[in-house]
């Protein structure tokens, strides 16, 4: 993880992929709205990684470590918004509950920091990044590598999923900004 720049202009988003064993995080910045042809847009990866916990630890301690790790990430990168992958409803109830608990801790860490939180399903994220809602992890990683100009596909999987969630959110925000800009331009004509 590189140290943060002094000030990052534009929209900085924290993506989170909640998990009990590993909670992935990724921070992206979007500079420029791209609303007009003269305004250039730049997407920058500020950092990514995963907060990991050991399965031998009691559940409350694992959740505490996830919360502390996310607080550290939020403090370091100062995102303006958070995008959290929604819990996947697993066939195994124990896995679904554990995922929900990790997601709850991620939501708490973001709320404590005063961040607006946006949720996206795994299929929404895959659709945004790969163009296909059932893309494989490898496809997501390769598309992230290409779209974000990375030398290698982001690892671990939890971090790449978090970056993909942040990218999905930024793509949605970019579309909203363009639509608002187009509406303002067309609204100004009578």
CATH number at residue 157: 3.30.420.10
User: pTM (2 decimals)?
Assistant: 0.88
In a domain, 47, yes or no: yes
Provide mean pLDDT across the span 56-66: 97
Give me the active site residues, please. 17, 85, 158
Q: What is the pLDDT of residue 33?
A: 55
φ/ψ of 116, rounded to 5, equals -65, 140
In a domain, 118, yes or no: yes
In a domain, 2, yes or no: no
Residues 158, 111, 42: CA angle, nearest 5 degrees: 60
**Residue 168 host element (H or E):** helix 157-187
Q: What is the pLDDT of residue 38?
A: 52
Q: What is the pLDDT of residue 5?
A: 44
Considering its fold, how many domains does the chain have in total?
1
Predicted confidence (pLDDT) at residue 179 exceeds the cutoff of 90: no
Predicted confidence (pLDDT) at residue 109 exceeds the cutoff of 80: yes
**Residue 51 host element (H or E):** strand 42-52
Pairwise CA distance, residues 78 & 103, whole Å: 20
Is 127 or 182 the better-scoring residue by pLDDT? 127
Provide mean pLDDT across the span 86-94: 76
Report the percent of the chain where pLDDT is more than 70.
88
């Amino acid at each position: 993880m590189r140290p943060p720049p002094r000030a990052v202009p534009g929209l900085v988003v924290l993506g989170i992929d909640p998990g009990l064993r590993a909670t992935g995080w990724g921070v992206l910045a979007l500079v420029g709205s791209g609303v007009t042809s003269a305004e250039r847009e730049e997407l920058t990866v500020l950092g990514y990684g995963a907060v990991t916990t050991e399965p031998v630890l009691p559940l409350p301690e694992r959740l505490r470590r996830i919360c502390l790790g996310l607080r550290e990430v939020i403090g370091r990168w100062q995102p303006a918004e958070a995008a959290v992958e929604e819990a996947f409803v697993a066939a195994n109830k124990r896995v679904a509950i554990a995922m929900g608990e990790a997601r709850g801790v991620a939501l708490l860490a973001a709320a404590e920091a005063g961040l607006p939180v946006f949720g996206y399903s795994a299929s929404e994220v895959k659709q945004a990044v790969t163009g296909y809602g059932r893309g494989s992890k490898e496809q997501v990683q390769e598309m992230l590598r290409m779209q974000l100009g990375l030398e290698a596909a982001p690892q671990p999987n939890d971090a790449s999923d978090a970056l993909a969630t942040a990218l999905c959110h930024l793509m949605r925000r970019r579309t909203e900004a363009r639509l608002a800009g187009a509406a303002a331009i067309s609204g100004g004509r009578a």
